[in-house]
């Protein structure tokens, strides 16, 4: 018994080192390393409820265990704090005691599938948890099997609200800058590291000669002289006066290039300013 409690204390120390939001895989690896069983296999602790509860409370993210009828049999301190209820108010209840019926129905349906298939699932839940504000959570659920029979379901709840907010902000920013790119009156052409055209905005498609301004074409085809393209590339972002092949023939413009890395690949964006208007 003392050896197990020592291992639990060690688990607490190692969990603290993982920070406030450890990954499920990291917690599982620690349990395996310290206790010698898989993170989802709690059978080695069920013989001693105190040790089992101490282990659950050492996990900093909400964790629960419920039987095949959906009744909570165990939960940790983090779940009690998240739900805003004491453990004795959670154990013996079902999701229907804490969630709206439609939400509880969806949880119950997923549980039945897990029990039937003896599998696991990852559920994305957008909404309100008891004791929590509206947010975005991911629930990792896994069937607990002992003696070849499903006895219940283990669930781990990860609060991804802040991550989702950052992700949504990034998508909104990308959409905003994409809109600026498309609506800019300045012709802009994007090329890859091999100087092949990847994309261009409407202004560029309308200005340049159709035979030259196409994806897969070399950017140098837009310039009257290849040396003009080389001058732009060596100007380190500064404006360079060049001659390009437009729909109306040769036109003098000022060209600038900026470089960045997109999906691990170097890309260049050429911006052209007309000098004849």
Query: Nearest Cα to 52, choosing from 69, 68, 35, 67?
Result: 35
Strands across the sheet with 197-200, in order? Answer: 197-200, 188-191, 265-274, 249-262, 240-246
The answer, yes or no, to whether residue 189 has pLDDT greater than 60, is yes
Q: Is the pLDDT of residue 1 over 50?
A: no
- Domain ranges, ordered by start, for the chain: 2-162, 185-274
pLDDT band at 39 (very low <50, low <70, confident <90, very high): very low
Higher-pLDDT residue of 158, 78: 78
Q: What CA–CA distances, in Å, run from 143 to 55, 117, 151, 156, 275?
A: 19, 9, 8, 12, 69
Domain 2-162 and domain 185-274, same fold? Reply is yes
Predicted pLDDT of residue 96: 92
Which residues, including other chains, have CB under 8 Å from residue 250's CB and lie 6 or more apart? 224, 243, 244
Q: Which residue has the higher pLDDT, 118 or 153?
A: 153
| Cβ atoms 276, 268 nearer than 8 A | no
- Which one-letter DSSP state was computed for residue 112? H
Nearest CA to 151 among 65, 90, 36?
A: 65
Given CATH 3.30.450.20, say whether it is the number of domain 2-162.
yes
Task: Output the CA–CA distances (angstroms, integers) from residue 203 to 23, 56, 182, 191, 209, in the order listed.
Answer: 46, 60, 8, 16, 12
2-11, 45-54, 111-120, range with the lowest pLDDT:
45-54
> How does pLDDT run across 223-254, given as a tens digit for each residue?
999 999 999 988 877 889 999 988 888 889 99
Percent of the chain at pLDDT exceeding 90: 8
pLDDT classification of 193: cutoffs 50, 70, 90 = confident
pLDDT at res. 276: 67
Burial of 24 (0-12, 13-18, 19+ CB in 10 A): middle
Least confident of 32-36, 138-142, 201-205, 217-221: 32-36
CA-closest candidate to residue 150, choices 66, 220, 233: 66
Residue 23: CB atoms within 10 Å: 12
Global pTM reads: 0.45
d(CA 202, CA 222): 15
The architecture CATH gives domain 185-274: 2-Layer Sandwich (3.30)
Q: What is the pLDDT of residues 159-187, one digit of tens each?
A: 766 666 666 666 666 677 777 788 888 88
Count how many Cα atoms sit within 13 Å of the Cα of residue 42 in the half-sphere of its side chain: 25
Write out pLDDT tens, residues 17-26: 777 666 767 7
């Amino acid at each position: 018994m003392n050896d197990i409690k020592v291992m639990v204390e060690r688990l607490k120390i190692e969990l603290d080192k993982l920070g406030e939001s450890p990954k499920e895989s990291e917690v599982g690896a620690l349990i395996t390393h310290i206790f010698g069983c898989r993170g989802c296999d709690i059978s080695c602790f069920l013989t001693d409820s105190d040790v089992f509860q101490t282990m659950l409370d050492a996990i900093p993210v909400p964790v629960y265990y419920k039987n095949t009828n959906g009744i909570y049999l165990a939960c940790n301190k983090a779940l009690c704090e998240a739900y805003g209820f004491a453990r004795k108010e959670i154990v013996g209840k079902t999701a229907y005691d804490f969630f709206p019926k439609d939400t509880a129905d969806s949880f119950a349906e997923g549980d039945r599938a897990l029990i039937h298939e003896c599998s696991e699932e990852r559920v994305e839940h957008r909404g309100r948890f008891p004791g929590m504000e509206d947010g975005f959570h991911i629930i990792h659920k896994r069937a607990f099997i002992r003696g070849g029979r499903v006895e219940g379901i283990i669930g781990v709840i990860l609060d991804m609200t802040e991550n989702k907010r950052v992700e949504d902000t990034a998508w909104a920013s990308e959409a905003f800058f994409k809109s600026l790119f498309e609506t800019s009156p300045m012709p802009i052409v994007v090329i890859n590291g091999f100087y092949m055209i990847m994309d261009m905005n409407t202004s560029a498609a309308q200005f340049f000669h159709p035979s030259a301004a196409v994806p897969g074409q070399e950017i140098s085809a837009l310039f009257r002289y290849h040396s003009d393209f080389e001058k732009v590339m060596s100007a380190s972002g500064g404006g360079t006066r060049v001659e390009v092949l437009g729909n109306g023939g040769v036109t003098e413009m000022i060209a600038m290039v900026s470089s960045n890395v997109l999906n691990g690949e170097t890309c260049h964006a050429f911006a052209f300013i007309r000098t004849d208007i």
